[in-house]
Amino acid sequence: LIIASNFKTNHNRKSTKEFIDFINSKNYFSEVRIYPPFTALNHFELTSNIRVGAQNFYPTQKGSFTGEIGFEQLEEFEVDTVLIGHSERRHILGEAQESICKKYDFAKAKECEIVYCVGEPKEVREQGIEAVMSYIWEQFNGIDIDYEKLVVAYEPVWAIGTGLSASLGDIEEVLERLRAKIKAPLLYGGSVKVETTKDILSIKNCGGILVGTASWNVENFSKMIEISDNI
Ligand code: PEP
């Protein structure tokens, strides 16, 4: 199972190092992914199943893109896993499918693991599962779903950072429909908490969780990994 923490715009260099050193010291079996802010990337001494990645990047090796981070800067820290398509980038930062595809193709050419995030807004969820799936399939336009280092994260927009998680039945239904076409591991994300981790990880076709808010506390994140280790 994959247990991933998206720090978003939280933690600094020092607290990230403390967080990662703590997780590293535990020798967990689960596949752990941690996505800190760019400024906290570092040469971490990681055990083999822990990987530190990037929440974003500009699809270039290097160049003149003021304020952006390219792959040369990520490679300095051996980053080999990235988030693409997160709802905050789609909806708050205005990232369109076209630029998401450019990032996807670039990371794929770099043979980097891609955690590709998809999920519907509230008004689409209210229209039922068919509307949800057609919205989600559009988010796969231009995306190579057969890429061998793809991980898909189903994250309903209305559940991210809101404290409202999708129901177990709703998650199961979406994962089952994704599984019909996609062989990559399927994660769920959206207000996962320590208390809900076990039930979510037990859903059929669920290959792990992508967690924001509840993961920023290292004890909570550790508890989630322990739950996963025991499943
Ligand atoms: C996320 O950012 O991917 C996420 C799921 O956030 P939260 O756990 O806070 O809903």
Q: What is the pLDDT along the chain (231 residues), one digit of tens a residue?
A: 999 999 999 999 999 999 999 999 999 999 999 999 999 999 998 987 999 999 999 999 999 999 999 999 999 999 999 999 999 999 999 999 999 999 999 999 999 999 999 999 999 999 999 999 999 999 999 999 999 999 999 999 999 988 888 899 999 999 999 999 999 999 999 999 999 999 999 999 999 999 999 999 999 999 999 999 999
Q: Is the CB of 5 under 6 A from ligand 1?
A: no
pTM of full prediction above 0.95 = yes
Contact 155 CB / ligand 1 (< 6 Å): yes
The number of angstroms, rounded, from the C-alpha of 83 to the middle of its chain's C-alpha atoms is 5
User: How many Cβ atoms sit within 10 Å of the Cβ of residue 109?
Assistant: 10
Which position among 31, 86, 88, 172 bears the catalytic label? 86
Q: 11 an active-site residue? A: no
Which DSSP string corresponds to 23-73?
HHTT--SSEEEEE--GGG-------TTEEE-BS---SSSS-S-TT---HHH
Nearest residue (by CA) to ligand 1, atom 6, is 212
Closest CA to 9 of 43, 36, 30: 36
In ligand 1, the atom with minimum distance to the C-alpha of 160 is 10
How far is ligand 1, taken at its centre, from the CA of residue 115, in Å? 13
Helices of type H across the chain:
13-24, 71-75, 87, 97-109, 122-125, 129-138, 168-179, 194-201, 218-229
Please give the structure tokens belonging to residue 125.
């969820």
CA distance 145 to 66: 31
Q: Is 173 a catalytic residue?
A: no
Cα–Cα distance, 18 to 112 (Å, whole number): 25
Nearest-5° angle of CA 135, CA 125, CA 155? 70
